[in-house]
Structure 1
Amino acid sequence: MATLSSQEALDVVGLVGELMREANSMPPGKEEARVVSLRKAKDLILSKIPDLIDNFWVEMLATRHERSVIMIAFCLEWIQEACAKEPVALMPDAIPIVLQLMEHQSVAVQKASLNAAREIYRNAFAWILRSAKESEAQSVWTELKRIKDHVTYAIGEDYEQSHVGYRLLSYKFVETVITCQTPRDSDVPATSEDWVSSLDFPPRFQFQTRETVEEEAHRLLQTLEDYLTSPDFDVKYVDRESIIGCLFHLAKRRPQYLGRILTTVEFVHGNIPESYSKLEVEGLRKYLKAALMSFLRRSHDGDVLGRVVQLLINLGASNTDVNRARPKWQEVQKRKRSDSSSDPAAKRVKGYEDSRRSASDTAVASDPQALAVDINMKTIVDKLTPNNVIELVLTNMKKLPSTMPTQFNATYTPIGSGPIEGILQHLARLMAVQMVAAGVGPGVVEMNRRRQEEMSIRNQMDTAEAEDNTSPQQISSVLSRQSSVVTVVKSEVPDDDDGHSNDSADAKKLMEEMHETPDAYKATDKAFRLLDITEPIPRDDRGNAILSIVNEIISNDGNVLSASGEYLYHKCLIRFAVKIGLDSLRERIMKYILEDIGKRTELAFRWIYEEYAVARQMTRDSTDHNLDELVRYDECLTKFIRGFIDHPEYREGTVNNLYMEVPVVTEGAVDLLTYYCAARSVHGAMRLIQKLVSSRPNADRFIVPALEMTLNQRKDIQTQAVQTCVKVYETVPELREPIRDFAVVSMKLLNNVVQPPAWFFAEKYGRGGKAATYAWTEEYQKLCTTLFSGLLSEDPSLLPTLGEIYNEHPSDVKKTIFKVIEQPIKSVGMNAPEVLHFVKSPPKGSESLVLRIIHLLTETHPATPELIASIRTLYSDRIPDVRFLIPILNGLPKEDIFAALPKLIKLNPVLVQEVFHRLLGTGKHKQDSTQRKPSVTPAEVLIELHKIDLGKVDAKTLIKATGLCLEEKELYNYETMVFVLKNLVEIDPLPFLLMRTVLQTMQMHNRLLPFIMNILQRLVEKQVWNLPLLWEGFVKCCEKTVPSSFPVILLLPAERLLTVLDSHPALKTALQKHVQELGLRQRAFMSQKVLNVVLTGKIDLPQGSTVAEENPVDVVGVIAPLVSQNGSRVPLVIKLEEEHEAPAPIRSVMEEDSNEPSSRLTESTDDSNSMVIKQEDSDSEEEDVKPEISV
């Protein structure tokens, strides 16, 4: 960079100031123009005068408070580039800002901040390696650790909620961390991205060592590998591809990990999730193939080349492609020579690397999964004999599916030809990977053994370290530049090395020196006394003087350079704040601390600990904290907490440290957790509560704010509070009882029908106003039940408690409970023992709740045998309400269903429709029939409905029930209705709904008209006119089926026929026309009385008149074959004899061939509607089976 003259520097400064003023004067909506101006100013500062970075640092950072995403992105750009120029001064302030922006509500800001964090982390880690002050390096390392924790949380516990783009950038960030915290391989030339490594980590640092840094990197690498290999993680396709890409990039920069990464790739290729589509499987294989090809071109390690080549062949690469990509021998030799002739620095690094090569190899070999694969592979190779292979194939042939799975077809690659040893090695490795995935084999046993040994050794080391650090007495104090330091004070030695604990003795000695009489006055008769010539200073004047002194001290804080001077400076301010009881003085010092919380947080901690020490001097009981003693301590602590929360440069870590590291968390501080959640960060407050309940004593105090926030009016607060309470309920057993009690109390609030209690509308619940102006609403009711429902999904044993509370609630509250328990009950499922016990023996008065739970459990899945047994026990022993049987109808025996059917159809229409949906497998229960075979068929249901006695169910209810059945036309098709009507006509007595069903069948299926005629003829045989309800339907059916019904009508007795024709003139006219068109032979088979009724309307005619020619002939009338009870067809033969008696009833034609069009039946002519008489030989083959009827 060229040096600028003074005039040029002034011009640049003026231009930068003009650009800044121009950007700040732009109105809202001109963010793009503002960014242009700010970017110009930034480029001038960084390229011309980097010394101006500190001057414009704060002004540039102010853009992070803008609402526009591009303004915040510019802020991140400024932080990234400025820190690269001046890391020493800016890095401690920049990292917390980046972490804060990573929690921004905008996904775009989160992604931009995480992208900037990668470069900042690399620069910050490099700065730590060069840092001269360990305290500053430790502070920056702590902030970097917070960023790492945030990123690992996003891709771990918060995987489902985090944005996919944010997760992909998180994997890249983890790759950067691993690259920085692992040793650089000498074979890889140093670049701008991978020159930073753990090799340069200073051994002088006490807060971290090189071994711990590398161990953390190994854990992160293992985490990425677990995402790909562990069955506990259900990683999506895009995440899997991104993680594989990160591993490949890491293998290029850190070749020592290539072996374990290839093992992971083998595992991924052999265990692709079945949920992936064919396109995703092919895409993943192409990605792996391209990455391995790239490695093949760059690597010259023989072992690695062999494994890469084998993987490429498994991925479908041809030998030509592999040979084309394989590096030539000359290139390998050239690359080796260039490596050997590299610069001296590289040689030194290589020498160092060679000295630790064995340790590196041991670390790589200790990868548990790779070790397990290798052990399994060696075991399998020894046992791959022809006999064993044949036995394996024969044993597992029966387990293969009938069709090849799509995924196997997409991933399988045949093993090519080659040496038998290579093929065996390849086959053994494939099987070893699958065995590790299944958790079997000697390799898995060895892996588990080593992990247990490591855990045991680690626990022993932690125990030993804890014992070494234990001393007779430990007192927490803030006496260094860290947030808290544990100072060990032995009981027999009251003062420390620095001497500042002997302040009282020093002060006493100083006062003695001040009051000591000077030598010049000792000879006088009267000693000089200062009190004799001075007057006491008034309290107000003394306070003003002390305040002036404090202001002077504060104004000269920049002149304190050394650490010891800074300590005395802080000590002086704290003593003024604690010892001098002036409110104005305390407020002034507190204001000074809050002006820059980034640099003066340590002073706040010292003040808090000093207040606590003063309060503790008032009592010797280390366990009893009197409220009066801690008043000033509580005031100081709560003011700092609120000040840190409201500060523009809010930092979650600072607030967390206040709560986690102070000696006592007072009630005032606990109450501020609600304010923290409402005013600053919901997620931050909930994370802090979880830390408090798991780390500090008296955890029940800290869960109270979260419990109270479950009733908060703000939806986001209420939701996060419920989730936090449920999580604490799972992880902290000692807090289960208070959480459960609060949930029960919240539910019991709804017992007050008039209005909620007055405290329900307190300010901390987000509802201002007087309680008298409010009443219960559904929203308030849900607030009171949400926590209980959340606990219910994790602890089904709360069901009896729910039943007892439910019985006390009014009806509108019960409806709300029905809504909120839907999700918890479905998540618990019907197999939980608590659910089965509750269903079997619920509390008295909770019957409707049990019924709701049963319906929710069986809404999408059929009931299990255990649930069916519990409900049957409840129905038979305690509550004989058929509504309980509705959800399990398909699981009951046929007899039980038919016994309950009369009661079921008497329920309200909605429940009746549900009954038939479940019985028939229709509606939303279509899948039930596929999951379980129904106990009854649709035909059996309809037949049973006709059998129900009118004494049990009224006719109107039965009509509606049969109508609901017949609405399902797909179920009650042609064949089903034939079966139903055949069975109904055989019932004695005939069902009163028979004719109604016949009419509905005729409307549904026209092709059944011949069969219906047969049914009508059967009814004539059963003298249907003696049953008034059926007779009316019979006549109506005959009227609707004219002219097909004429043969059936003519079979009626003359008296009944006369009644029918008199009441239906239209039918009479059509029947007369039909009879007149008949031939003489056809009329001969009709009774004279019937003929008289049809033609004259009278049964007996005047003497001498006739209506038909008497011409008896001997013929045989053959009617279409009738179906007997056993299903055989028997022709009916009629002989005509000399006697002229009325013919017996003749059956009409029964059902025609099912393929005959229905139009031929409805448009039949004279011949099809009349009885056809055919001459037969008496010597017919079927003579022995033809029943004869004399006419």
Structure 2
Amino acid sequence: MEIGSDKNQIEDTLEKVAELLNEASISNKDSVRLTNLKHVQELIVYKNPELLDNFLDEILQFQLDKSGEVKKFVVSFIEEACKKDTETIFKLIDNFRYLLFDENVNVQKRAYLAMINIFKNTLKWVVRNQNKLNDEQKQTWYTLLDLKNHIASQLDSDNDGIRTCCIKFLESLILCMSERLKESIIPHVNKGDFSVDQLDQVETDLFNRDELKEEGRYHFKTLLEYTLSSHISSVNLISSICVLSNIAKQRPEFIQTVLETYSKILSNIPPTLGKSQLNAVKKQMKLQIQSICKSSLCVGFVSELTSLLSDLGCSPNEINRLIPKNISIESNKRRLNQAQTNLDSKKVKLNQDQKNQEKLIDSLVERLQSKENVTDLVLVSMTNLPDKMSLKFSQEYKAISNPGSVQQIRSLAQMLVTYIGENNFESTSQNILTVDDDDLDEEEDDDLKFKLKLKSEKIDYSETVGKHPIHRQSSVSTPSKTLPTNLNKSASNKTFKLNDVTNNIINKIDQTQLQDLYNKAHNRILETDENVNRNKHACIIRKKVLVESTTLPGYDQKLTNYVFEDVKKRIDLALIWLYNNYLKIKQCYHKKSTLENMKYKLENGLNIKEEEQMDIVEVGHEVTKMEVIEQNEQYILNQIEFYEAEYDRTLISILDSLQQRKEQKDLLFSKFITQVPYLTDNALNLLKNCCQDSEKFLFNMSTLSELIVTRSKQRNELLQILLQFTSLSNQVLRENACTICLNLYERKQFAQIIEDYAFNRLKYLSLPNPPSELINDLTEETQEMLDASTWNEDMIKSCLYLYLELIPVNHKLINGLSEVYIESVAEIKRVILKMLETPIKKMGMDSQELLKLIQDFPRNSETLVLRIIHILTEKSQPSIDLVNKVRNLYATKLPDVRFLIPILTGLTKAEVIAALPQLIKLSNAVVKEVFNRLLGINTNIPVHKSPVNPTELLVALHQIDQANCDLKTVINATSLCFAEKQIYTQEVLTSVMQQLIEITPIPTLYMRTVIQSLTIYPKLSNFVVIMMQRLIGKQIWKSPKVWEGFIKCCQRIKPLSHQILLKLQPAQLKEVFQVAPDLKEHLNKYVHSITPLERAQITTETMELIENL
């Protein structure tokens, strides 16, 4: 029964989960989706974890949701699922990584915090099962390590919240990568966490205890540096103080450093903190110190804790309450006992070795009487001196009061014995290298003297001399960094040299055999790839040997071939090779700088410090110093030229080989070029050519963008390449380059450079002729000769592309365009107006910069402003602000009616009617555009609003005063209206004629409009008869133009016109017959066709006129 009940319960849960997920997927409300998803999590993670695998995919689909809260839930779900079953991370690692790099910062922060538990649990699981891991699980572990490194590097993030999460994550890393001691105070919730001491073995395939501890110390050091930085925020400083306190309590080995850090924080408060923030920081630090005082860890650190509490403003009574007396006494006793133990052991040792030590001191005093020995000691010691004097040394150092005295020499001897140690003194003194001029040949002697003379400047020429073509077959013994052997040997003793033995052997082998030996040895080293990789130390040595072998002829090509046999696995060897060459260049530049500094001091008579002085015993004159420096300065310059050429050749060879590979999916080219130490001019040209490759340009342009962001020292050169692409005629490449530029433009460090480049290109257009720089760029692209005397459209466009792309992002740039527009020639203005549409539409009519330009446009830029207004209103109603700006412009500054055309639909009815006389005087094309805007024809505006309807517009045209506009112009305008038959329908024209007949006097063009209406719509004849009968009552014959139209209309509507003619007075009827005789004949026929009764109603005078043929 129980089994059946459980089965039914699981089925019910399955149905419930499915129902919740379906509801969540179709709901539009974030709250509903979150509620359902949390309910699902409760059911399948906590209550029925066996169902977790069944619904993983369905829940993970919500990571693509637009809502940040939903994405944060998915992160939380992954964290909880991994807590329940650590192996779940092997299924969800890709989803988690996707969310960790989400665009939403809040999602990133939640993922960072989730990574704390995920990494701890996975680390613990992998340690326990490291011998059972399959390839997929190992790859997941490596991915987690990458994510770990990414998060740990986010202390320099721009987002303060990200940095806070990073601090919490570093706390977890430091605790995992350090040992848990007996004295550690572990919170109950962290009892099961991993620590380094849980590793059974010191070193395994995946873990090395020492390396883990070293990494933990590195992260601890990083956290300390960030905590003490001057730009840290108050929130992060408080977080760091809490984290350091937790680390100190759980890892007592760090407590001393933590207390010192607290002290440094108090003495160097970040200047950005306000008074309230500073109080919050001190309050938090006080709480953390109090928690340390309450633990057993305070034993041994009472004085430090007391000092900190005192600095935080605690009174002596408060300090005594926090640090009980028994702890203070115990701390003092512990220190005294430790000191007494050390003292007793020292006394025993001193009694045993005192006699031997006295003998050694006496022996050293005798040897230190020799100037040669003292000189050698000074030279050797100077190689270990730092470049700059430390602050502590400069504050504490006091000059020796009695230099050269017996007492001072004996004191020096005692210091040497104490420093080296009695047991090591004899062995050390026997193994120290000496240099004897008799042992060197002439060339070696010169090299050695040169190096000894420059020891004071800390220049080591042992490497460069060995590689110089003149010195390839000789070796130079340099002074050791230990004591010179002539302190216990006579100066005449010769030192053993390995070269003395090897040279005799090599001389007996001919060059062919020697080369064969080299090749075989080199091949064996290449073949030991897999075996050596198991031993890290041997692997490092192997790579060094292979890299250094490239200095021999032909071996560089062998190494290149070896790398590209399996380039995916061996690409790191190519990087090491490049870095080795780059390091040599940097060393040469350092030596060059040192020589220049010495030369400057000598030329200006400046004193060279004692530690900088050369050994000039043999020379003795300043001129000789200068000659030595100049000779070797030239030598260094030659070395720099040689190594730079080698670096460039190697880099280009590798990049070219990578680029020629057909498969780009492995991203090797991008990976390599983004990791090399420096890109030479040839490498930049190669990258530029690669970006123009029609097949791979998108991939290579992305690489170029990454290089621009990551390489600050070469940013300008890389950015110039990208900027040049924004002017190309190749549309696809140009648009891609412009898109990247727009993304970079959003960052402050790139914005000004991009803007300056775009503006400089734009300024070319103010020149009468194209500049040579522009001609050269276009010639390089098209490979054709161009006419440099005149501008053509391609030249103009190349100067506009980038600037027009930037305008929608930075609206202020529109002012620069207007300035150049004023100064440019007609052809350039035409192209600018042609290309202006896209950026202006993106800006929109709400842009304050556009409105400002319209209101205060520069002189001679009227056509530009007019074009802008037209573009803004082409497919949308003009905004109120735009209408007001243009209306004000028209009324006060520029009474040009053309500026009203774009905003006609935003004007009032009275304003439109008042402007009609001026509007219809424009060209037919412009008048047609005016009517189209007013009537809503071809405007593509979703909701068209016009101040006048079609009837009002035609009526207004008839009412235009002929004093303001001639009749012919009005006739053309009305004709344009009649041409729009879809607008001016039979009903609209009927309404127009009815309104016009009510106007007194009758408009001149009334009868013309009636005739045109009849022509378009013949069915209006009966309506026209009625209108004409009304005109008789208005004595239409008193308006000659209208009367003339009346007669023509009578002719047009025959035979219906008899009704109108019979109502005319005889005088007017007679005039009609004189103008249109055909109407008299028509009326005569009609009169004779009607009945006598009807004829009797006609007056006698009218009948006489009709019958008098």
TM-score by length of 1: 0.47
Distance 1:653 1:1043, change over 3 A: closer
In structure 1, give the amino acid aligned to 2:754.
Answer: I
Tell me the distance in 2 between the aligned counterparts of 1:828 and 1:613: 51
Q: Contact 1:800/1:843 (CA < 8 Å) preserved in 2?
A: no
Structure 2 residue 972 is the aligned partner of structure 1 residue 960: yes
Q: What is the match of residue 572 of structure 1?
A: 545
Distance 1:233 1:827, change over 3 A: farther
Superposed CA deviations along residues 1020-1075 of structure 1, whole A, max 9, x for unmatched, are 34443343332321111011112322232234343443343244332221111122
In structure 2, give the amino acid aligned to 1:656.
Answer: S
Shift, 1:547, TM fit: 9.8
Tell me the distance in 2 between the aligned counterparts of 1:682 and 1:544: 50
Q: Contact 2:571/2:672 (CA < 8 Å) preserved in 1?
A: no
Tell me the distance in 1 between the aligned counterparts of 2:1032 and 2:728: 76
Tell me, what secondary structure is at the counterpart of 2:1050?
helix
Structure 2 residue 1066 is the aligned partner of structure 1 residue 1054: yes
Distance 1:788 1:759, change over 3 A: closer
Tell me the distance in 1 between the aligned counterparts of 2:570 and 2:1041: 99
Distance 1:686 1:528, change over 3 A: closer
Superposed CA deviations along residues 594-631 of structure 1, whole A, max 9, x for unmatched, are 45433432232222222222222233399999996845
Structure 2 residue 570 is the aligned partner of structure 1 residue 600: yes
Distance 1:467 1:619, change over 3 A: farther
Tell me, what secondary structure is at the counterpart of 1:879?
coil
Shift, 1:671, TM fit: 3.2
Distance 1:1092 1:523, change over 3 A: closer
In structure 2, give the amino acid aligned to 1:895.
Answer: A
Structure 2 residue 697 is the aligned partner of structure 1 residue 660: no
Superposed CA deviations along residues 765-806 of structure 1, whole A, max 9, x for unmatched, are 542233359986645544443322322232222211222233
Q: What is the match of residue 883 of structure 2?
A: 868
For residues 493-508 of structure 1, the aligned pairs below 5 Å read: none
Q: Contact 1:992/1:1029 (CA < 8 Å) preserved in 2?
A: yes
Tell me the distance in 2 between the aligned counterparts of 1:805 and 1:1088: 84
Q: Contact 1:748/1:805 (CA < 8 Å) preserved in 2?
A: yes
Superposed CA deviations along residues 360-385 of structure 1, whole A, max 9, x for unmatched, are xxxxxxxxxxxxxxxxxxxxxxxxxx
Distance 1:1071 1:897, change over 3 A: same
Tell me, what secondary structure is at the counterpart of 2:590?
coil
Tell me the distance in 2 between the aligned counterparts of 1:1008 and 1:763: 67
1:720 to 720, 727, 736: 736
Tell me, what secondary structure is at the counterpart of 2:679?
coil
Structure 2 residue 61 is the aligned partner of structure 1 residue 227: no
In structure 2, give the amino acid aligned to 1:995.
Answer: M
Tell me the distance in 2 between the aligned counterparts of 1:623 and 1:511: 24
In structure 2, give the amino acid aligned to 1:1038.
Answer: C
Q: What is the match of residue 695 of structure 1?
A: 710
Q: What is the match of residue 294 of structure 1?
A: none
Shift, 1:715, TM fit: 3.2
Shift, 1:945, TM fit: 0.3
Tell me the distance in 1 between the aligned counterparts of 2:591 and 2:907: 70
Tell me the distance in 2 between the aligned counterparts of 1:1077 and 1:528: 148
Tell me the C-alpha RMSD between the 2 structures: 5.3
Shift, 1:546, TM fit: 6.5
Tell me the distance in 1 between the aligned counterparts of 2:384 and 2:721: 39
1:557 to 522, 526, 533: 526
Q: What is the match of residue 377 of structure 1?
A: none
Shift, 1:867, TM fit: 1.6
1:1027 to 1039, 1053, 1074: 1039
TM-score by length of 2: 0.51
Tell me the distance in 1 between the aligned counterparts of 2:513 and 2:763: 57
Q: What is the match of residue 854 of structure 2?
A: 839
Q: What is the match of residue 921 of structure 2?
A: 906
Q: Contact 1:710/1:787 (CA < 8 Å) preserved in 2?
A: yes
Q: What is the match of residue 681 of structure 1?
A: 696
Distance 1:854 1:763, change over 3 A: closer
Q: What is the match of residue 332 of structure 2?
A: none
Tell me the distance in 2 between the aligned counterparts of 1:233 and 1:924: 43
Tell me, what secondary structure is at the counterpart of 1:831?
coil
Q: Contact 2:845/2:882 (CA < 8 Å) preserved in 1?
A: yes
Shift, 1:635, TM fit: 4.2
Distance 1:694 1:822, change over 3 A: same
For residues 261-272 of structure 1, the aligned pairs below 5 Å read: none
Q: What is the match of residue 166 of structure 2?
A: 458
Tell me the distance in 1 between the aligned counterparts of 2:88 and 2:582: 52
Q: Contact 1:729/1:739 (CA < 8 Å) preserved in 2?
A: yes
Q: Contact 2:167/2:223 (CA < 8 Å) preserved in 1?
A: no
Structure 2 residue 605 is the aligned partner of structure 1 residue 768: no
Q: Contact 1:547/1:585 (CA < 8 Å) preserved in 2?
A: no
Tell me the distance in 2 between the aligned counterparts of 1:184 and 1:602: 46
In structure 2, give the amino acid aligned to 1:977.
Answer: L
Tell me the distance in 1 between the aligned counterparts of 2:662 and 2:461: 37
In structure 1, give the amino acid aligned to 2:699.
Answer: G
Tell me the distance in 2 between the aligned counterparts of 1:872 and 1:461: 62
Tell me, what secondary structure is at the counterpart of 1:987?
coil
2:582 to 612, 635, 647: 612
In structure 2, give the amino acid aligned to 1:727.
Answer: N
Tell me the distance in 2 between the aligned counterparts of 1:548 and 1:643: 29
Structure 2 residue 871 is the aligned partner of structure 1 residue 856: yes
Superposed CA deviations along residues 1100-1153 of structure 1, whole A, max 9, x for unmatched, are xxxxxxxxxxxxxxxxxxxxxxxxxxxxxxxxxxxxxxxxxxxxxxxxxxxxxx
Tell me the distance in 1 between the aligned counterparts of 2:973 and 2:802: 43
Q: Contact 1:761/1:771 (CA < 8 Å) preserved in 2?
A: no
Q: What is the match of residue 815 of structure 2?
A: 800
Q: Contact 1:761/1:768 (CA < 8 Å) preserved in 2?
A: no
Q: What is the match of residue 1095 of structure 1?
A: 1107
In structure 2, give the amino acid aligned to 1:640.
Answer: I
Q: What is the match of residue 373 of structure 1?
A: none
In structure 2, give the amino acid aligned to 1:936.
Answer: V
Tell me, what secondary structure is at the counterpart of 2:974?
helix
Shift, 1:999, TM fit: 1.1
Tell me the distance in 2 between the aligned counterparts of 1:529 and 1:926: 92
Tell me the distance in 2 between the aligned counterparts of 1:547 and 1:709: 51
For residues 184-263 of structure 1, the aligned pairs below 5 Å read: 224-228=61-65, 230=67
Shift, 1:1083, TM fit: 4.6
Distance 1:608 1:622, change over 3 A: farther
Q: Tell me how many residue pairs correspond in the alignment.
A: 650
Q: What is the match of residue 721 of structure 2?
A: 705
Distance 1:756 1:509, change over 3 A: closer
Tell me the distance in 2 between the aligned counterparts of 1:762 and 1:914: 42
Tell me the distance in 1 between the aligned counterparts of 2:162 and 2:477: 63
Q: Contact 1:674/1:709 (CA < 8 Å) preserved in 2?
A: no
Tell me the distance in 2 between the aligned counterparts of 1:1018 and 1:588: 110
Structure 2 residue 221 is the aligned partner of structure 1 residue 468: yes
Q: What is the match of residue 1014 of structure 1?
A: 1026
Tell me the distance in 2 between the aligned counterparts of 1:683 and 1:883: 46
Tell me the distance in 2 between the aligned counterparts of 1:659 and 1:798: 35
Shift, 1:961, TM fit: 1.3
Q: Contact 1:757/1:771 (CA < 8 Å) preserved in 2?
A: no
Shift, 1:641, TM fit: 2.7
In structure 1, give the amino acid aligned to 2:567.
Answer: I
In structure 2, give the amino acid aligned to 1:1044.
Answer: L
Structure with a larger share of its residues in helix = 2
Structure 2 gap segments, 5+ residues each: 1-43, 96-124, 133-158, 175-217, 226-382, 388-458, 467-472, 479-491, 597-636
Shift, 1:570, TM fit: 3.0
Structure 1 gap segments, 5+ residues each: 1-181, 196-216, 235-242, 265-344, 353-450, 473-489, 495-500, 514-521, 1098-1191
Structure 2 residue 345 is the aligned partner of structure 1 residue 637: no
1:916 to 916, 931, 935: 931
Tell me the distance in 2 between the aligned counterparts of 1:852 and 1:462: 59
Superposed CA deviations along residues 161-190 of structure 1, whole A, max 9, x for unmatched, are xxxxxxxxxxxxxxxxxxxxx999997599
Shift, 1:640, TM fit: 3.0
